[in-house]
Amino acid sequence: MRKYTFSRTELSRAFGIDTATLGTGSPRTGFSFGKVGPGVTSEPHRHDEIEAFVVLSGAGKVTTDLGEISVEAGDVVLFHPFEAHVLRNDGNKDLDFVDVYWRDGEAALNAAAKTTAPRGPTFVFSAPPTPNGDLHLGHLSGPYFGADVYTRFLRMKGVEAYHLTGSDDYQSYVATRAASDQWTPANVARYYSDEIRATLALLDCDVHSFQATMGDDGYSEFQAACFRTLLSSTAVDLRQSPALFDAVTGHYLYEPDVRGLCPDCGGSAAGNICEECGAPNLCHDLGAARSRQSAEAPLVGSLRRPEFALDRCYDNIDRHLRASGVPLRILDLFARLRQRGEFSVPITHPSDWGLPAEGFPGQVIWVWPEMAFGFLYNIQALGRSLGRDWKAEVPGSDWQIVHFFGFDNSFYHALLYPALYAEVFSHWTPRIHYHVNEFYLLDGKKFSTSCRHAVWGKEVLSPKTVDVVRLHLGLTRPEGERTDFTLDGLRRTEKEVFQGIWLNWLDALDQEIKQDFAGRVPDAGDWSPVDRAFFARIEIYRAAMERAYSDEGFSVRRAAAQVCDFVRDCVIYRRARDYAAARCLYPARNRTSLALQTTAAAIMAPTVAPLMPRFARTLARGIDGVSTETWPRSVQRLAPGTRFDLRPVLVFYAKARQSSSR
């Protein structure tokens, strides 16, 4: 027997609270004593151990992914592996508790394998594009395609999910384009906003709400109200602070007007954001800054305007980032920003393109904070079209927001926006998930609109090609690393994979079913071990696809690679049997093979539907009872006698034989 007495004065800080750990001698089990002071909240975290809190004294609230409960002395709370948990003392005396945790390998693995669907209405945003040009494959491969696949899957799972985006009309780059095209910014925005919508439609992106930020009175009124609230926040100061001006023209320089060396990584960066490391800059802090307006080095002057002191919000941001489980690269970006100490961003700029900043004549609201509030307005606009009472000024606690964006937008989406929301909607704890993509390269170099180094969506997208383009973008999507697009690669995916493997297999299968079984699925006969293994393989594939589309580990690239692997396996399974011999010598085995291959073809329709919706629908049309509207919970062998006619998909992709067009 051993007795321990915790000294309440010799505790150490861990997870944001005071703790003392008791060694048990076993690496599988641990105990600790914890003290949470009044008003203190522990840091949210997740781990693979099972854990229990035994409350000794005091009272508070425990929050997990599933909600919040009250606890008091005598209560025991149990947490499953990977369940995020936070303990908050909302009383006026210390909350003491004992924490017990232990490892259970099987429970941890089972919990890791489980996928969860979001609760409440889910608003999936792809970063609103700047209407200063059309969308190229570099844009499309990232946020737009990603958000579309993700939303389609959620809807198949029965989640109330919507894909929202819009055109970010007041971006400074719109005015730059207008100046070089000798047009008005409003005309440029209107023109490219329409082009962008058309390109998204060509990619079969199902956008449920597209909000153009220009020309909507309700939108500008809401933005003005948010701006007023922000001005009265304790994080906003009115300051006379440095600003850059062109040495020759005297014009104020920001975002597109200036380039220099990133204050964080030292690489070449444009105003506001370094595309390489994602770090923000304030233009005047760029090294060796160069104006785009003249060859002279810019002058540093000053301006009086409101600035948002982001450094005062770091604890809030930290909490938000931990709770939403952002990628490590964003945590790293945040850590680097924190090291820079005080960091205030101006929230207005002198310009005549943008929403006027009330009280600051000649200045407009900076377009990036505008976007933060624009997301909420877009939800309200969507609600109106659906007859739902979603209010932008009262964001719902049940709203699940999911953002898809390129890494160079991380600062805005994941650091600035949560801080702005906390200032303007103090009672709202936003639930936001982030899906970040890296740069997609074209022939080894970054896509560039200005250098005409791009393949535009409209150049390669048509009803006949869209699914192959989506498959190829899926296979090469820049997830977690930069990837390269080549037109040759796209052609190979089309000829060698889609036509050469997929359609050839479906064509041969369709032919056999027609010839020997009058277009009806035969009943399985005798099963060999290989048949049994292939049946299991179909279910393994279905489950792996579900995993790849789910929030945990969402990866279009994995989904695309898996379906290609699966079809290859179907072809190998098919070839392992000599068809001519099997037909006459082992008809019972032959029937099993065909029953399983038709089942494999049928499961492809719903499982590729998020990735290649048009192909999936056309495939499903020929097989009775197959739907691309709902996600299959398990693989069911097609009932004998099911109509199986792949003509729709083969005709659509011009693979139909003469005989089958009868």
In angstroms, give the least distance from the CB of 488 to Zn ion.
32
Rank residues 284 and 514 by Cβ distance to Zn ion and give the closer one: 284
Following DSSP, what letter does each residue of 292-343 receive, concatenated?
Answer: SS-SSPPEEEEEEEEEEEGGGGHHHHHHHHHHHT--HHHHHHHHHHHHT---
Rank residues 260 and 610 by Cβ distance to Zn ion and give the closer one: 260
Judge contact between 73 and 41, C-beta under 8 A: no
Among positions 381-400, residues that touch Zn ion (CB under 5 A) are none
Q: Of 46-54, 83-91, 263-271, 339-347, which segment contacts Zn ion by CB under 5 A?
A: 263-271
In angstroms, give the least distance from the CB of 328 to Zn ion.
17
- Position 270 contacts Zn ion (CB under 5 A): no
Following DSSP, what letter does each residue of 525-575 receive, concatenated?
Answer: ----HHHHHHHHHHHHHHHHHHHHHSSTT--HHHHHHHHHHHHHHHHHHHH
CA 283 to chain centre: 29
- β-strands 431-437, 400-406 pairing: parallel
- Position 264 contacts Zn ion (CB under 5 A): yes
* Cα(628)–Cα(626) distance, integer angstroms: 7
In angstroms, give the least distance from the CB of 415 to Zn ion.
15
Question: Computed over its alpha carbons, how large is the radius of gyration of the chain?
Answer: 29
- Position 602 contacts Zn ion (CB under 5 A): no
In angstroms, give the least distance from the CB of 265 to Zn ion.
3
In angstroms, give the least distance from the CB of 444 to Zn ion.
21
Going by C-beta distance under 8 Å and a sequence separation of 6 or more, which residues neighbour residue 264?
274, 277, 279, 281, 336, 340
The single residue among 87, 277, 310, 415 that binds Zn ion, judged by CB under 5 A, is 277
* Cα(369)–Cα(229) distance, integer angstroms: 13
Rank residues 99 and 285 by Cβ distance to Zn ion and give the closer one: 285
Judge contact between 478 and 140, C-beta under 8 A: no
Judge contact between 648 and 621, C-beta under 8 A: yes
Length of the chain: 662
In angstroms, give the least distance from the CB of 266 to Zn ion.
7
- Position 263 contacts Zn ion (CB under 5 A): no
Q: Taking Cα atoms as reference points, which of 264, 425, 457 lies closest to residue 343?
A: 264
Rank residues 254 and 534 by Cβ distance to Zn ion and give the closer one: 254
Among positions 72-101, residues that touch Zn ion (CB under 5 A) are none
Q: Give the count of residues interacting with Zn ion (CB under 5 A).
A: 8
Q: Of 17-25, 118-126, 273-281, 473-481, which segment contacts Zn ion by CB under 5 A?
A: 273-281
Q: Taking Cα atoms as reference points, which of 253, 280, 266 lies closest to residue 417?
A: 280
Rank residues 228 and 482 by Cβ distance to Zn ion and give the closer one: 482
Rank residues 273 and 326 by Cβ distance to Zn ion and give the closer one: 273
In angstroms, give the least distance from the CB of 348 to Zn ion.
25
In angstroms, give the least distance from the CB of 82 to Zn ion.
33
In angstroms, give the least distance from the CB of 336 to Zn ion.
9
In angstroms, give the least distance from the CB of 281 to Zn ion.
8
Q: Of 267-275, 371-379, 404-412, 453-461, which segment contacts Zn ion by CB under 5 A?
A: 267-275
Rank residues 95 and 258 by Cβ distance to Zn ion and give the closer one: 258
* Cα(598)–Cα(506) distance, integer angstroms: 9
- Buried/exposed code over 163-200 (b: 16+ C-beta within 10 A; e: otherwise): bbbbbbbbbbbbbbbbeeeeeebeebbbbbbebbbebb
Contact code string over 243-262 relative to Zn ion, x by CB under 5 A: -------------------x
What stretch of H or E contains 29? strand 29-36
- Position 283 contacts Zn ion (CB under 5 A): no
- Position 265 contacts Zn ion (CB under 5 A): yes
Q: Of 211-219, 277-285, 515-523, 608-616, which segment contacts Zn ion by CB under 5 A?
A: 277-285
Rank residues 274 and 545 by Cβ distance to Zn ion and give the closer one: 274
The single residue among 274, 282, 330, 392 that binds Zn ion, judged by CB under 5 A, is 274
Rank residues 277 and 337 by Cβ distance to Zn ion and give the closer one: 277
* Cα(321)–Cα(334) distance, integer angstroms: 9
* Cα(334)–Cα(352) distance, integer angstroms: 32
Rank residues 268 and 528 by Cβ distance to Zn ion and give the closer one: 268
Q: How far is CA 31 from CA 22, 97, 103, 533, in A?
A: 5, 11, 12, 46
- Position 279 contacts Zn ion (CB under 5 A): yes
Binding residues for Zn ion (CB under 5 A):
262, 264-265, 267, 274, 276-277, 279
